[in-house]
Structure 1
Amino acid sequence: MVAKASQHSSRAALPALVSGPHTRRLGTVAVIATFGGLLFGYDTGVINGALDSMEESLGLTPATEGIMVSAILVGAAVGAFFIGRISDAFGRKPTINTLAILFFFAALACVLAPSWEFLTGARFLLGIAVGGASVTVPVFLAELAPTEQRGGLVSRNELMIVSGQLAAFTINAVIGSVWGEHDDVWRYMLSVAVLPAIALFIGMFRVPESPRWLIAKGRDDDALAVLKQIRSDDRAVAEMAEVRELADDEKEAKRARLADLVAEPWLRRILLVGVGLAVAQQLTGINSIMYYGTQVLQDSGFSQSGALIANVGAGVIAVVAMLVALRIINRVGRRTMLLLGFAGITVFHLLIGLSSTLIPEGLGRAVVVLIFVICFVGTMQGTIGPLVWLMLSEIFPLKLRGIGMGVTALVLWSTNFAVSLLFPILVAGIGISTTFFIFAVLNAGSFVFAATRVPETNGRSLEQLEADFSTGAVPTVANSAG
């Protein structure tokens, strides 16, 4: 409590933020760094419109298709687990630059792949870059951002991820319309990913190192020089004390072990909530649309080119919903948004399944399914998508936040892998309708889990949450006084 009180007092003493050249400098740094998020979104979303061409060119079956698509997620789990430690040792900036190189060569290997096995290996390597970016870029942004702007600046990375997916859907639609008859059109779609990788690599030479990392390495003068690039001089000097406190907190957190996370019953309950949220986010089936949306729309009645174009609608709605979520996420209770999200997703999964079953084949059914798919994507990206990551960062005590986030991120990526691997196999075996009915049942279960197990974290301190969990209570109402 003493450490926390001193931290709050040092923050209260900071000079107010003022605009100037340093503000533009920070904005430029954020744009460059979030190209990692753009690559994340593009490389995971581009497969969506490329699968039809791949099936013919590489002789894919539903099983090999699932393996090839989900290979990037296995790599992402590996990258998310190990790259954070590498960035702690060598710095955020050189780590992101190395990831840019890996993005480039892995994307190039995907373009030149002679077989589905080679492509699967290349996508695994691409996944390592995706997972590394997913943990390194948000940390880098958080360590550069002023305290007052940290949430908004870090959230730009989430926005860039869905923007990258939208870019992939749009470019796929354009390339598919122009060169759709070409046997290897999927290679053209994948090749675009090398461009933002080059931009990230070149741009990072203009970006400073994280001041918190520099202080952790005993390089205080370098850290102050970086802060003076992105703050006013008086603010930079005053903020050095805060950055030292944050660096000390981080050192203490790195000493935490998995055994510490399950040492007491209330900690085990928090871990259960975190793991449950991670699994529930992926069981929404969002990535069945992000990765296989074009095929879902074709099965519903669209032509190949029509499905490519219609799929762009899902990408647009994802970006718009994310923008809305970022504006309201601190004004509405976390549990309220979660419950509305799971309820809405359950309804739209049922409507997609019923439409595919009851409406006769043709353009009418295709349009109705598209509407419900767009509603599903908007509901997911406007509630559960950004909210789960935020709540995972809030529920764990500070000293255990690193290990807690690591465990839950691994669970999230693993669940993503399982859903992505099984989706095409399920669709081939039991059809679109039954598959979405299964999603509806799973999300109804997630609604019950959120209603009975997930605490309200908005407006509550870690001490309040700890007290409630330690007594077995689940705080379901935000305390505005907290």
Structure 2
Amino acid sequence: MNDPLRLSSSVDTDKGSPSLDDAKPTAQAVQVDGDKEVERLRNVEKHSSKWTILAAGAGLISDGLQNNIMTLTNVIFGQLYGKAYTSAYSTQVSNALTVGTILGQISIGMVCDIYGRKAGILISTFSIVAGIIIVTAAHGAHGSFAGFIWCMTVGRGLTGIGVGGEYPSGSASAAEAANEKMQKSRGPIFILVTNLVLSFGTIFACILYLIVYSAAGGDDANYSTVWRTVFGISVLPPLVVLLFRLRMVNSKLYRDGAIQRGPPLLLTLKFYWRSLIGTCGAWFLYDFVTFPNGVFSGTIIAQIVKVTGHEKFRKTAEYQLLLGTIALPGCLVGALIVNRLGRRNLMILGFTGYLVIGLSVGLAYDKLLKTVPAFVVLYGLMQSFGNLGPGNVLGLSSAESYATPVRGTLYGISAAIGKVGAVAGTQSFTPIRDNLGAKWTFIVAAICGVLGVLVTYFFIRQDLDGDLSDEDAKFAAYLKANGWDGAMGVQGKEALIDREEAVTVGKAHE
């Protein structure tokens, strides 16, 4: 096919008309500029996979920090504002992030399927930065405390939209990038740059708070200065990672398999209904247990430590740091054994840990309260089992169960249903504790463990460690067999990245 930009000099023209030769320099200049842009994109693409994986990890460290930063902030607000900071206000601010996360997971999940992973990632990053800035500067009009809380709520909600968007866009791009460069190690790599760094957010938040607390004067610190400084510092990680994300390109899997006009919804649901029940159901149960225990762990520990005043915050932060540290090894162990044990079996093992540890803590709760370190260790072990199994595998299985054209959307829906479980767990945590007793929060976790085992066994596939392109081929064949005749592949400049390679391959087959 002749290139329309290459004008032939052999075409005859009227003497009174502008010569085609006069138009040549302009057309050639456009062609040169186009070639330079494609070449630039190819050079970026050579290293894009590695930077995408690293940026996903760096970005999710920020998400983990934002998910956990309110745990100690709630303790500070309790000390700073006393009874004015009611449980209703605490729940409102905490749930703002969760509600925003749900919106981000669904909306940006669809964006990253239609417009590309990079578009979804950039929207997520900008939302996180804007939300953190609003929270850091939060004030109520004329000193209104209710206005201050609503300013916090809006800022945390906007942050949540960005955090939620990171799940389908950042995680999907990380899975696709790992598949291109290190397919056999995709599972462990994915866990290390997603759940490990998300879980590190608890430790990061505690360390950051303790450092700022000490720098601000320790037990004589001004609490308002402490929490605002912590939030202000937390804006730096997403700003740094933004520099790398501006240079990334979409994965080859996405460039080849994207359905940018939107895939047929009914056919997609018909093909993936079983996997959706598995990823949505297991994520709901996991977040129902994990999220309220994360949000209220600081409050729980603060209630059982035997100190008061400023020392109470420091002691709570130290135990919170211990709790997060104990929970972290589950991520590492899961990454080591996920390929050997399989995705489904590893998730079942983690949910079984909820059953065993949840019952142990629940039945011995009153005795454990007399020894706070023992309580914190067992509490941490339960969270470590959660990280080992569903914490590690839910994101991985949600990325691997679905084809590239719908990966972001179905991943986002699965994660959003999980966050619905988080809201349900957060809302029911206090009523369960107040009406049935604190030990029942752990017994309920054990019950969720049993349900998680059943959902995982019947609805999560065990054959998820293959090449992601094979899943794309199966999905494309299914769509065509059912009468869908739409186009796959990206439009625009990124479509040209693989053009020469395709031409070379075509000539080799001739």
**Is this contact kept in 2: 1:254–1:402, CA < 8 A?**
no
In 1, are the aligned partners of 2:71 and 2:295 still within 8 Å (CA)?
yes
Q: In 1, distance between residues paired with 2:56 and 2:460?
A: 33
Could you tell me which residue of structure 1 aligns to residue 445 of structure 2? 439
Matches within 5 A, 1:373-384: 373-384=379-390
Alpha-carbon distance change, 27 to 336 in structure 1, aligned in 2, over 3 angstroms = closer
1:347 maps to 2:356: yes
> Does structure 2 conserve the Cα–Cα contact (< 8 Å) formed by 1:278 and 1:411?
yes
Counterpart of 1:295 (choices 282, 292, 299) is 299
Shift of 1:429: 4.8
Asked if 2 retains the 8 angstrom alpha-carbon contact of 1:111 and 1:190, the reply is yes
Asked if 1:279 is matched to 2:284, the reply is yes
AA partner of residue 360 (structure 2): L
TM-score, normalised to structure 2, is: 0.70
Q: How far apart in 2 are the matches of 1:369 and 1:118?
A: 36
| Pick aligned residue for 1:116 from 149, 155, 162 | 149
Distance apart, 1:69 and its partner CA: 0.5
Q: What do residues 416-435 of structure 1 show as CA deviations (whole Å, max 9, x unaligned)? A: 22223332454355442122
The 2-side partners of 1:193 and 1:140 are apart by: 24
The one of 64, 70, 73 aligned to 1:41: 64
Equivalent of 1:427 in 422, 430, 433? 433
Q: CA deviation at 1:64?
A: 2.4
Bigger mean CA deviation after superposition, 294-303 or 87-96 = 87-96
Change beyond 3 A, Cα 1:407–1:93: closer
Q: Distance in 2 between matches of 1:67 and 1:447?
A: 32
Residue number among 252, 263, 267 corresponding to 1:260 in the alignment: 267
Please tell me whether the aligned partners of residues 48 and 248 of structure 2 are also in contact (alpha carbons under 8 angstroms).
no
Matched residue SS, 1:329: helix
Structure 1 residues 142-178: Cα deviation after superposition (integer angstroms, max 9, x where no partner):
4544624252554413332222332112222333455
- Indicate how the Cα distance of structure 1 residues 39 and 356 shifts in structure 2: closer, same or farther if over 3 A, else same: same
Give 1:158's match in structure 2, choosing from 172, 178, 195: 195
Q: Is the 8 A contact 1:270 1:395 kept in 2?
A: yes
C-alpha deviations, 1:178-219, integer Å up to 9, x for none? 5455342332332221121331234445x3322x4xxxxxxx
CA distance in 2, matches of 1:98, 1:452: 36
Partner Cα distance (1:129, 1:341) in 2: 28
**Unaligned 5+ residue runs, structure 1?**
1-20, 213-242, 467-482
State the alpha-carbon separation in 2 of the partners of residues 140 and 70 from structure 1.
27
Q: What do you get for the CA RMSD once the two structures are aligned?
A: 3.3
Q: Deviation at 1:87?
A: 4.1
2 CA distance for matches of 1:76 and 1:121? 13
Cα separation, partners in 2 of 1:189 and 1:351, compared to 1, 3 Å: farther
Tell me whether 1:313 sits opposite 2:322 in the alignment: yes
Map of 2:205 onto structure 1: 168
The amino acid across from 1:274 in the alignment is T
**Overall identity of the aligned pairs, in %:** 18
Instruction: Work out the CA distance in 2 between the residues paired with 1:145 and 1:279.
Output: 27
* Partners of 2:100 and 2:230 in 1: CA distance: 21
Task: Give 2:74's aligned residue.
Answer: 51
* Alpha-carbon distance in 2 for matches of 1:401, 1:333: 20
1:42-441 equivalence runs, <5 A: 42-58=65-81, 59-87=84-112, 91-93=116-118, 95-114=120-139, 115-145=148-178, 147-149=180-182, 151=186, 152-155=188-191, 156-176=193-213, 178-180=217-219, 181-184=221-224, 185-205=226-246, 207-210=247-250, 212=251, 243=252, 247-251=255-259, 254-257=262-265, 259-263=266-270, 268-283=273-288, 285-301=289-305, 303=307, 304=312, 305-359=314-368, 362=370, 364=371, 366-396=372-402, 401=407, 403-441=409-447
Q: Structure 1 residue 376: deviation in Å?
A: 0.8
| Contact 2:206 2:317 survives alignment (8 Å) | yes
CA distance in 2, matches of 1:65, 1:112: 18
Distance (Å, rounded) in 2 between the aligned partners of 1:312 and 1:125: 27
**Counterpart contact for 1:50–1:189, Cα < 8 Å:** no
Partner-residue secondary structure (3-state), 2:258: helix
Measure the CA separation in 1 of the matches of 2:67 and 2:155: 13
Distance across 2 between alignment mates of 1:64 and 1:36: 29
Letter in 1 for 2:284: V
Over residues 244-282 of structure 1, what are the superposed CA-to-partner deviations in whole Å (9 max), with x where a residue is unaligned?
A: x7534332894130x224547xx5444332332222222
Deviation of the 1:40 alpha carbon: 0.6
Question: How many residues were matched structurally?
Answer: 405
Q: Distance in 1 between matches of 2:176 and 2:449?
A: 35
2:450 and 2:56 map into 1 onto residues whose CA distance is: 38
SS in 2 for 1:457: coil
Aligned mates of 2:269, 2:124 — CA distance in 1:
33
Query: Are 1:256 and 1:400, in contact at CA under 8 Å, matched by a contact in 2?
Result: no
Please give the TM-score of this superposition, normalised by the length of structure 1.
0.74
Query: How far 1:308 moved relative to its partner?
Result: 0.8
Query: Which region of structure 1 is more displaced relative to structure 2, 288-297 or 171-180?
Result: 171-180
1:475 is matched with: none
Secondary structure of 2:340's match? coil
For residues 347 and 55 of structure 2, what CA distance do their matches in structure 1 show? 32
Displacement of 1:79 after TM fit?
A: 1.0
Distance 1:120 1:85 in 2: 25
Query: CA contact under 8 A between 1:108 and 1:191: conserved in structure 2?
Result: yes
Q: CA deviation at 1:120?
A: 1.2
